[in-house]
């Protein structure tokens, strides 16, 4: 599955890197007596007692402002630009302030009686509490800032400022000029933080930071030349850009030296093991399952998908192989048919353009089928993946945050120019005529793009900002099946076969991730699982193996979220019978932002009972 690297990435980066937190503001916990009652403007007027919900709304507003002040880069990704010129240096002092922030906020939360909050605020309370627990664990237990050098890369935020027209170009360049000041110190501290790097994450850091250079050597200078800044401002910017480039290059030299030192031994194992994996699963996914239980459920789902694919293959066999008997080994027959069909694909030069061509087709279908509400005023821009984002996924979505909801959503598609002819052919066979359509459903319409547009309109900023990865990925996977069930593709069996192969990837993602990170699965066994049991092409399988070495738990979010959403829809459908309205279900489900699926289920059931 190609990843959706939407603004949830910002949450991960906040958690993994050492980040600062502001403690200068007065502590609302110490003001609880004052906030229970508000004095009117007249000295002798009666005091008005606030409800618990009103108190909590006030707390949320204060909490978010402190949070953005503490995390200006995350604020950028959410469309909050008040602190856009600040780049936090991830040093020990910032870590200490982060821990103080978490502790003080938890104390503030303890001032509230959850039983007196309405459903929306009670769920927001839970999300904030859980998020703080997660951040604390990342900072004190997971500590990936010590072993994952790819955590340290400043390019994304600079690219966002440069490419988002939230203020004039000149003003954005002045913001960039201020932000550039801390880059040398940022990378110096990064080197100090990294004590036991893995070989895999060191290699990724080298690739992505090489890509980052383009932002400072090419992109910003081009915009600077077009600006109306004074010559002195341009000169000052040029000096700062030069310092930034030198700092990144020093980091790259250091990484190359570190990689040489650990290549033949001494590197930390990229596998995190069962204890950390179960803990990370609990914090990231938010579900009633344990990681081991979901792994077992995925193995059962794999068997069911194999049976479904075998049945479709038997029905299509006479059409494509009329002179050949159906093989005794049913999985080999499935693979043979998939291989036969996969030669139908776009050529490598037109891969990105073909994605662009399909987007309006999907949009028109969703309107005609009346599946859910969409907003044509929220633009989707298909572009080539920026260099600094390449190396993990071939397609992804960058969505604006709720504070700047009308900004562009970028659908990033990586061109195939870095592949050999053999690799490109393998990749294109994987993303053939049918699966490329499913990919676009997943990433764009009605997948990530549509879901995140709805999330930005949620009345709860908490639910939109602290997005749950399992819900976000689960919706995108659910939307694939929902589209085909609604009639997209005219029930073509070839499309259903390829969809089943694609859906098998969702299931195998969970099996692979747990097997690699917890059970110690080797690359050879992983490729066998991916190629012979999930029918993937070698290039895709190699890429998935690499991804399983670079991330943990995230690959399970697809199957977990999809299963919960689909099963919930079917339960509601059964309960309502002929009164069930698919569009109404979708619109209501999406109205709760990117909250965990269990919370959305609870809110929908309470509202409709």
Q: Where are the domains of the chain?
A: 8-33+49-142, 150-262, 285-608
Instruction: Give residue 47's pLDDT.
Output: 62
> Are residues 24 and 199 in contact, defined by beta-carbon separation less than 8 angstroms?
no
Question: Is the predicted pLDDT of residue 26 greater than 70, yes or no?
Answer: no
- CA angle at 467 for the pair 352 and 608, rounded to the nearest 5°: 110
pLDDT at position 46 is: 55
The helix or strand, by DSSP H or E, that contains position 63, with its residue range, turns out to be helix 52-70
Neighbours of 445 (CB within 10 A): 25
Specify whether the CB–CB gap between 425 and 413 falls below 8 A.
Answer: no
| Cβ burial, residue 444 (10 Å; 0-12/13-18/19+) | buried
Predicted model pTM:
0.88
Q: How many CA atoms lie within 13 A of 38 on its CB side?
A: 8
pLDDT in tens, 359-379: 999 999 999 999 999 998 998
* pLDDT tens digits for range 207-225: 999 999 999 999 999 999 9
Averaged pLDDT score across all residues of the chain: 92
Contacts of 11 (CB under 8 A, 6+ apart): 74, 466, 467
- Give me 132's structure tokens: 């703080």
Quick one: pLDDT at residue 4? 41
Decide if pLDDT at 40 tops 50: no
Q: Can you name the residues that pair with 131 across neighbouring β-strands?
A: none
In the chain, the N- to C-terminal Cα span, in Å, equals: 37
Tens digits of per-residue pLDDT, 277-300?
999 999 999 998 899 999 999 999
For residues 160 and 221, the answer to whether their CB atoms sit within 8 Å is: no
Burial of 129 (0-12, 13-18, 19+ CB in 10 A): middle
**Confidence class for position 308, pLDDT limits 50, 70, 90:** very high
Phi, psi of 37 (to 5 degrees): -135, 140
151 touches 13 (CB < 8 A): yes
- Is 388 in contact with 211 (CB distance < 8 Å)? yes
Contact 391, 329 (CB under 8 A): no
In contact, 499 and 441? CB cutoff 8 Å? no
pLDDT band at 33 (very low <50, low <70, confident <90, very high): very low
């Amino acid at each position: 599955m190609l990843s959706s690297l939407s603004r949830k990435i910002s949450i991960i980066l906040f958690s993994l890197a050492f980040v600062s937190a502001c403690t200068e503001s007065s502590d609302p916990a110490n003001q609880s007596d004052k906030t229970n009652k508000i004095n009117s403007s007249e000295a002798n007027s009666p005091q008005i007692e606030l409800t618990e919900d009103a108190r909590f709304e006030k707390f949320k507003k204060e909490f978010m402002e402190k949070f953005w002040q503490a995390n200006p880069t995350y604020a950028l990704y959410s469309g909050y630009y008040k602190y856009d010129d600040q780049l936090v240096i991830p040093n020990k002092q910032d870590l200490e302030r982060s821990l103080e922030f978490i502790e003080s906020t938890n104390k503030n939360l303890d001032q509230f009686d959850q039983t007196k909050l309405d459903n929306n605020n009670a769920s927001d309370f839970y999300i904030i509490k859980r998020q703080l627990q997660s951040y604390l664990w990342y900072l004190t237990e997971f500590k990936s800032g010590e072993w994952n050098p790819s955590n340290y890369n400043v390019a994304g935020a600079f690219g966002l400022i440069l490419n988002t027209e939230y203020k004039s170009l000149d003003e954005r360049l002045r913001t960039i000029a201020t932000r550039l000041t801390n880059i040398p110190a940022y990378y110096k501290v990064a080197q100090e933080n990294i004590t036991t790097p893995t070989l895999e994450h060191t290699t990724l850091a080298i690739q992505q930071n090489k890509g980052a250079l383009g932002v400072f050597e090419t992109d910003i200078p081009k915009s600077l030349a077009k600006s109306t800044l004074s010559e002195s401002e341009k000169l000052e910017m040029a000096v700062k850009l030069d310092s930034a480039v030198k700092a990144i290059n020093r980091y790259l030299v250091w990484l190359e030296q570190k990689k040489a030192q650990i290549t033949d031994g001494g590197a930390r194992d990229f596998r995190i093991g069962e204890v950390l994996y179960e803990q990370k699963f609990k914090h990231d996914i938010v579900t009633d399952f344990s990681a081991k239980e979901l792994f077992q459920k995925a193995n059962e789902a794999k068997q069911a998908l194999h049976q479904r694919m075998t049945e479709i293959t038997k029905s299509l066999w006479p059409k494509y192989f009329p002179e050949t008997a159906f093989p005794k080994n049913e999985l080999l027959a499935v693979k043979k048919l998939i291989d036969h069909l996969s030669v139908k694909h776009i050529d490598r030069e037109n891969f990105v353009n073909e994605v662009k061509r399909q987007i309006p087709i999907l949009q028109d279908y969703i309107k005609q089928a009346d599946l859910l509400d969409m907003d044509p005023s929220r633009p989707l821009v298909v572009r080539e993946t920026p260099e600094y984002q390449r190396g993990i996924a071939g397609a992804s979505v960058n969505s604006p945050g709720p504070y700047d909801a009308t900004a562009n959503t970028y659908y990033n598609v990586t061109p195939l120019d870095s592949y050999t002819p053999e690799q490109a052919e393998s990749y294109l066979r994987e993303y053939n005529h049918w699966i490329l359509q499913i990919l676009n459903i997943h990433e764009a319409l009605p997948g990530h793009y549509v879901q995140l547009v709805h999330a930005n309109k949620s009345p709860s900023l908490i639910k939109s900002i602290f997005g749950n990865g399992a819900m976000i990925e689960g919706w995108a996977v659910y939307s694939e099946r929902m589209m085909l069930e609604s009639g997209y593709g005219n029930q073509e069996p070839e499309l259903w076969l390829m969809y089943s192969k694609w859906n098998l990837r969702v299931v195998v993602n969970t099996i692979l991730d747990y097997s690699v990170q917890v059970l110690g699965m080797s690359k050879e066994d992983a490729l066998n699982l991916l190629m012979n049991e999930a029918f993937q092409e070698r290039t895709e399988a190699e890429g998935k193996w690499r991804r399983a070495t670079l991330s943990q738990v995230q690959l399970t979010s697809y199957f977990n979220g999809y299963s919960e959403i689909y099963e919930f829809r079917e339960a509601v459908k059964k309960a309502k019978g002929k009164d069930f309205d698919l569009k109404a279900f979708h619109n209501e489900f999406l109205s709760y932002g990117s909250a965990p699926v269990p919370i959305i289920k609870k809110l929908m059931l309470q509202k409709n009972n």
